[in-house]
Amino acid sequence: MQGKLLLTTFVVLALSAGTLGQASSSESSSSSSSSEGEPDPRTDDCSIDVVLVLDDSSSITPRLFRAARMLMNAFIACFGDTDDVNGSRHNVNGTDQGTPDSNPVGVVLYNCEARTEISLGTYTASNHYLMYAIGGLRQQGGVTRTGPAIRYMKDTSTFRDGARRVAIVFTDGYIEGEPLDDHVAEANAARTAGITLYSVGLGDNVDRGVLEEIAGSPGNVFDDTDNPCDLAEQILQDCDPRGGASDNNSDSYSDDDSDDSGGDSGGD
């Protein structure tokens, strides 16, 4: 009698466990179906199109130009590393920031005129041939026209629909031929077109004020002595999964903003 009672108890417990398991499975399936119906916005990819705009005018020495090419490749190595960007794995606050395989990189060089050296879409950040192509860039020299170069980048770059648009201007910040070179207006126009701008100062003597006017925010200005992975990480952190621009680059610059940057300016 006692044996039958134990057996009956075991069967009841087993059936109860099976019922609970089915209920748990049903709840899990229901939760999965709900999540499929309404995608979690935190998993939205943030694809990024990047154009590197490099000053190759005569104010950039040949040694500095070579250093700039190396800096650009170091940035690409950080940006194109699927495993790690300072430990972030291209994942910021739980949001997948896309993969380098989907992030094209283009290159524009400029002096008095701008020219496309690597068309946007030819290579992605993870393609090693991109670094070879950058290593083969040649300096022409001439006067500096940064404003027209930004306009050229905006008008000729074939950014993808839905991708975040980013341009990084590598320059010493010295402008020749003002007011023909209205870098402030052209940078603001690029931002209005949805392009987030960053600037990287080349050399020891840079015009910090111009770099900030180009970037639109002191937080988007970097030096060639900074870790290039810091720039790559900031671009990823600034990326809005919904395709919008970063808040710290949304303000337009004007001559009235000179008080904000005048302390660091090297002069025009």
Q: Which domain holds residue 26?
A: 1-38
- Whether residues 145 and 226 share a domain: the answer is yes
Q: Within 10 Å of residue 189's Cβ, how many Cβ atoms?
A: 17
Distance (Å, whole) CA 11 – CA 34: 34
- Number of structural domains found in the chain: 2
Tell me what pLDDT residue 177 has.
Answer: 65
- Please report which confidence band the pLDDT of residue 181 belongs to, taking 50, 70 and 90 as the band edges: confident
Domain with residue 240: its CATH number is 3.40.50.410
- Whether residues 16 and 80 share a domain: the answer is no
- Whether residues 31 and 58 share a domain: the answer is no
- The answer to whether residue 43 sits within a structural domain is no
- Please report which confidence band the pLDDT of residue 105 belongs to, taking 50, 70 and 90 as the band edges: very high
Distance (Å, whole) CA 203 – CA 174: 11
pTM over 0.85: no
Cα distances (angstroms) measured from residue 190 to each of 4, 10, 43, 197 = 83, 73, 28, 8
- Whether residues 23 and 141 share a domain: the answer is no
Query: Using one digit for the tens of pLDDT, what is the confidence trace for 149-179?
Result: 999 999 999 999 989 999 999 999 998 766 6
- Please report which confidence band the pLDDT of residue 238 belongs to, taking 50, 70 and 90 as the band edges: confident
- Please report which confidence band the pLDDT of residue 85 belongs to, taking 50, 70 and 90 as the band edges: very low
Q: Which of 3-12, 130-139, 147-156 bottoms out in mean pLDDT, i.e. has the lowest?
A: 3-12
Contact 100, 126 (CB under 8 A): yes
- Whether residues 181 and 70 share a domain: the answer is yes
User: Residue 142 above 80 pLDDT?
Assistant: yes
Cα distances (angstroms) measured from residue 17 to each of 13, 20, 218 = 6, 5, 61
Residue with the larger pLDDT of the pair 101 and 33? 101
Angle at 172 between CA 170 and CA 176, to 5 degrees: 110
- Whether residues 105 and 214 share a domain: the answer is yes
- Whether residues 174 and 232 share a domain: the answer is yes
- Whether residues 143 and 11 share a domain: the answer is no
> How much is the mean pLDDT over the chain?
75
Query: Using one digit for the tens of pLDDT, what is the confidence trace for 183-214?
Result: 999 999 999 999 999 999 999 999 999 999 99
User: Residue 56 above 50 pLDDT?
Assistant: yes
- Whether residues 140 and 71 share a domain: the answer is yes
